[in-house]
Structure 1
């Protein structure tokens, strides 16, 4: 399970290993289910990486990125809907790692794979 803390009113997010993500907005007292990713090939697909950060274009908006079965997915509505990101990422690479690094100029995203290098995005994960 991975957790990410973010925001003016911090929210904690976690994920399970069965294609479901959960969030809490009140310091873990109550958890709410986030929409399952539509990419799942089975209900047991593993969410390999997850992180979130403020949007570069709108710092009050949260960007969530996750990796499922080696595919990168993005949500701009707190996990309500997800869109697969395909630009700049070769499908042969097994993506396993994701990290958001907030900077003064906006969030920089890093995506890693086993043995194939590290990818960087400066535009909220679009490319």
Structure 2
């Protein structure tokens, strides 16, 4: 497994890393939507943005991991992201649903942009 995201938002227990090529505000808004879903344990960026080959209008390819993530969660997150009215297409998927070749690609070049830290009570 790849290492967790590096940025720190300790108050929420979620570490985030800006999405390459997005303005900081847009990246923060996008990641805030994902962080608001407690079932999302981690989010990985892949594709051209993860490889540093993106163009200004390139889509944002994200895959979500979480033991309790459902397709209902995915649809609700897609709707919430759509409501942000970002000028980029955001392709959202569940990591568990990826075919083997795409899963291998994520493992090779994926960047963790959100990691929920385990609570140690």
Is TM-score (shorter-chain normalized) higher than 0.5?
Answer: no
Instruction: Using structure 1 for the length normalisation, give the TM-score.
Output: 0.30
Higher relative contact order (CA 8 A, sep 6+): 2
